[in-house]
C-alpha cells in the first residue's frame, strides 16, 4: 500500500497591514494542500496523487492532519482517499498509544 504525506507550496500574499515605509506587508501562507506519495526514505514522488507536479513542495504534514488543513485538493482525495484515510487512522492510533 502506498504511503502518503500532506504537502503544499508556499505562496506570498499581501495583507491589509502596511509597513512603516507605506508598503503593504506580505505573509507566507500554504497554497492548496495535496496528498503526495513517499518512499521508505521519506522522499516525495514527482507528482501529487491528483497528477500535478510536486516540484515546489515547501511544507509537509503527517497524513493524519489532512482533514484539518484547508483549502484541500478534491482530486487528491478522489485518487488516494481510501488509502490515505486508512493510513491517517493508523497514524492517529499510533500517536495516541504513545501518550
Average pLDDT, the chain: 86
- pLDDT score at 8: 93
d(CA 4, CA 83): 8
The band of 20, judged by pLDDT with boundaries at 50, 70 and 90, is confident
44 upstream amide cis, omega within 30 of 0: no
The answer on pLDDT for 95 being more than 80 is no
Name the residue with higher pLDDT: 97 or 18.
Answer: 18
The answer on pLDDT for 98 being more than 60 is no
What does the angle CA 30 – CA 76 – CA 12 come to, to the nearest 5 degrees? 15
Q: For a pLDDT cut of 90, what percent of the chain falls above it?
A: 23
Hey, what's the cell of 73?
485538493
What global pTM score does this model have? Answer: 0.78
Name the residue with higher pLDDT: 16 or 7.
Answer: 7
Q: What is the pLDDT of residues 60-72, one digit of tens each?
A: 998 888 778 889 8
Amino acid at each position: 500500500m502506498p504511503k502518503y504525506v500532506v504537502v503544499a507550496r508556499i505562496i506570498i500574499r499581501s495583507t491589509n497591514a502596511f509597513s512603516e515605509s507605506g508598503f503593504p506587508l506580505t505573509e507566507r501562507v500554504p497554497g492548496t494542500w495535496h496528498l503526495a506519495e513517499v518512499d521508505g526514505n521519506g522522499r516525495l514522488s514527482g507528482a501529487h496523487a491528483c497528477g500535478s507536479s510536486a516540484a515546489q513542495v515547501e511544507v509537509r504534514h503527517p497524513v493524519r492532519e489532512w482533514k484539518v488543513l484547508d483549502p484541500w485538493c478534491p482530486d487528491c482525495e478522489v485518487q488516494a482517499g481510501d488509502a490515505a484515510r486508512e493510513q491517517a487512522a493508523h497514524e492517529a492510533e499510533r500517536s495516541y498509544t504513545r501518550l
